[in-house]
């Protein structure tokens, strides 16, 4: 049960092509976004669609998979863990970011995607 302490599993569509950076001689970092959608009926019986956007980070072999196979719009499933960090922007304002560090990627869509 220890691996459940900080575990995230999502299925959604990519909002962008992965941005891949080389770090050092043989390490890669991929950044991309994932949209998840929930559809339900409200108390008036109207259909409501809510979309949540998630920032994803992939390292090493997962970054290589993202670079080679993932494209905007692809449906994927990911597993990972939540991380939070902060930084100071160019105007001196402290910003906070929550991201998912991806440990597994599964491509769900058809081959033509």
pLDDT at 12 over 90: yes
User: How many structural domains compose the chain?
Assistant: 1
Tokens of 102: 């991806």
**Average of pLDDT values for 64-88?**
95
Domain CATH code at residue 21: 2.40.50.140
- In-domain check, residue 113: no
pLDDT at 71: 95
Query: What is the rounded average pLDDT of the residues 30-39?
Result: 96
**Domain extent at residue 66:** 2-107
Instruction: Judge whether 101 lies within some domain.
Output: yes
66 in Cβ contact with 30 (< 8 Å): yes
Looking from the CA of 6 toward its CB, the CA atoms found within 13 Å total: 9
Tell me if 67 is assigned to some domain: yes
Spell out where 1-113 has E strands. Answer: 8-14, 19-23, 27-41, 47-59, 75-88, 94-107
Helix segments in 7-112, DSSP class H:
60-69
Question: Does residue 36 belong to any structural domain of this protein?
Answer: yes
Query: Does residue 27 fall inside a structural domain?
Result: yes
- What letter would DSSP give residue 62? H
- Percent of the chain scoring above 70 in pLDDT: 94
Identify whether 80 is part of a domain.
yes
């Amino acid at each position: 049960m220890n691996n459940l302490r900080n575990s995230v599993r999502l299925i959604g569509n990519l909002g962008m092509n992965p941005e891949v950076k080389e770090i050092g001689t043989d390490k890669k970092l991929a950044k991309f976004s994932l949209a998840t959608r929930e559809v339900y009926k409200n108390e008036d019986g109207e259909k409501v669609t809510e979309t949540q956007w998630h920032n994803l980070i992939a390292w090493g072999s997962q970054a290589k998979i993202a670079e080679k196979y993932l494209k905007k719009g692809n449906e994927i499933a990911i597993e990972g863990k939540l991380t939070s960090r902060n930084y100071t922007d160019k105007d001196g304002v402290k910003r906070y970011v929550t991201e998912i560090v991806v440990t597994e990627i599964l491509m769900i869509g058809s081959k033509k995607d």
